[in-house]
Amino acid sequence: MKAARFSRFGGPEVLELVDLPEPRPAAGQVRIAVRAAGVNASDWKKRRGLMDQELPQTLGYEAAGVVDEVGEGVEDVAVGDRVYGFCLDGAAQAESAVLSFYAPIPAALDFAAAAALPAAVETAMRALDQLGVAGGSTVLVNGASGSVGSAAVQFAVARGARVIGTAGAANHEHLRALGAEPVAYGEGLVERVRALAPGGVDLALDVAGSGVLPELIGLAGGAEHVLTVADFAGAREHGVRFSRGDDGRALHALSEIGELVTAGRFAVPAVTSFPLADIAQAHRVAEAGGVRGKLVLLVG
């Protein structure tokens, strides 16, 4: 099978498509013929040598496709089913991939839209679970217009929370459409939030990692009411919880989102797609930033 890989660190030019043996699913896993795979910031950071140091490396942690083999004990899906989920081996950007965690693709979604969801919805749901967001609470989401932030806004609204979201002015209408009250980030943030919520907020989630944890702590009444998924150093400095996948994944998000999509209560992010063969260009676009929505590689 063809798979994306790099054998040295560097720019997008180090990426190549190589022939690798097809993976086999272990107990509890499924193998899919990949139709689409998500692109995340971790991909280009790995390629540049900013994360894992071993070589060579394959890429991709989220994918959507059609089941073509099931591991021992798998009874909830069958060969031929459309599923999406996580490839913990980091090898989803390929013609075949093994998913360790998966769920049926909602009927309303195509493969590209489904591949855009796993990382964002799991991260957002995990953060809200760990914060204890519930109906009646007021939540501030810092960085609300990106894929994770938009998912967090919609999940919080679905739980009955009031959501205030920070974003650039160009994204304020987008946030209103998702059910949030937008505020501009930058200097004066605290005053703008207090204009909407004079007593501050109950909880705050930092998705942007923009160095505003002290302001969020002040608005939420203490570090214990704040969580970040983007600012590891700031979390250590200010005593804020940093959420990562190894402290418990919210895998229920993969199955629960189907109900929200079907009910029209969750807007899937806009997708910009590239053929797998154009992975280098996808990396250039991802690394440059500024794309709203999600980058996805199409396979087959």
pLDDT digits (tens, 9 = 90+) for 11-27: 999 999 999 999 999 99
For the chain, the domain total comes to: 2
Please, which pLDDT band fits residue 291 given cuts at 50, 70 and 90?
confident
Q: What is the pLDDT of residue 202?
A: 98
Confirm whether 58 is domain-assigned.
yes
Q: Are residues 45 and 108 in the same domain?
A: yes
Q: Are residues 208 and 225 in the same domain?
A: yes
> What are the tokens at 9?
């660190």
**What is the average per-residue pLDDT within 155-175?**
95
Please, which pLDDT band fits residue 296 given cuts at 50, 70 and 90?
very high
Distance CA 159, CA 63 (A): 27
Q: Are residues 39 and 156 in the same domain?
A: no
Confirm whether 255 is domain-assigned.
no
| pLDDT of 45 higher than 80 | yes
Angle between helices 147-158 and 252-262 (to 10 degrees): 70
Q: Are residues 139 and 44 in the same domain?
A: no
Confirm whether 173 is domain-assigned.
yes
Q: What is the pLDDT of residue 248?
A: 72
Please, which pLDDT band fits residue 223 given cuts at 50, 70 and 90?
very high
Contact 146, 290 (CB under 8 A): no
Exposed / middle / buried, residue 122 (Cβ in 10 Å: 0-12, 13-18, 19+):
buried
pTM greater than 0.75: yes
Q: Are residues 93 and 175 in the same domain?
A: no
Residue-wise pLDDT tens digits, 123-138: 999 999 999 999 999 9
| pLDDT of 150 higher than 80 | yes
**Domain range enclosing 217:** 121-247
Q: Are residues 167 and 239 in the same domain?
A: yes
Distance CA 204, CA 246 (A): 21
Please, which pLDDT band fits residue 288 given cuts at 50, 70 and 90?
confident
Q: Are residues 110 and 10 in the same domain?
A: yes
Q: Are residues 107 and 154 in the same domain?
A: no
Confirm whether 253 is domain-assigned.
no
Q: Are residues 107 and 156 in the same domain?
A: no
Confirm whether 152 is domain-assigned.
yes
> What are the tokens at 16?
């190549």
Contact 282, 276 (CB under 8 A): no
Distance CA 10, CA 192 (A): 42
What is the CATH classification number for the domain harbouring 8? 3.90.180.10
Confirm whether 187 is domain-assigned.
yes
Q: Where are the alpha helices (DSSP H) in the chain?
A: 41-47, 111-115, 118-131, 147-158, 172-178, 189-196, 213-220, 232-238, 252-262, 279-288
Vertex 94, ends 88 and 97: CA angle to 5°? 40
% of the chain residues with pLDDT over 90: 82
CA distances from 274 to 147, 168, 256, 259 (A): 18, 27, 28, 28
Q: Are residues 135 and 243 in the same domain?
A: yes
Q: What is the pLDDT of residue 256?
A: 86
Beta-ladder partners of 235: none
Please, which pLDDT band fits residue 55 given cuts at 50, 70 and 90?
very high
What is the CATH classification number for the domain harbouring 129? 3.40.50.720
Mean pLDDT computed over every residue of the chain: 94
Q: Are residues 72 and 93 in the same domain?
A: yes
Residue-wise pLDDT tens digits, 241-280: 999 876 678 888 888 888 888 888 899 888 999 999 999 9
Q: What is the pLDDT of residue 52?
A: 84
Vertex 6, ends 10 and 254: CA angle to 5°? 110
Q: What is the pLDDT of residue 293?
A: 80
| pLDDT of 292 higher than 80 | no
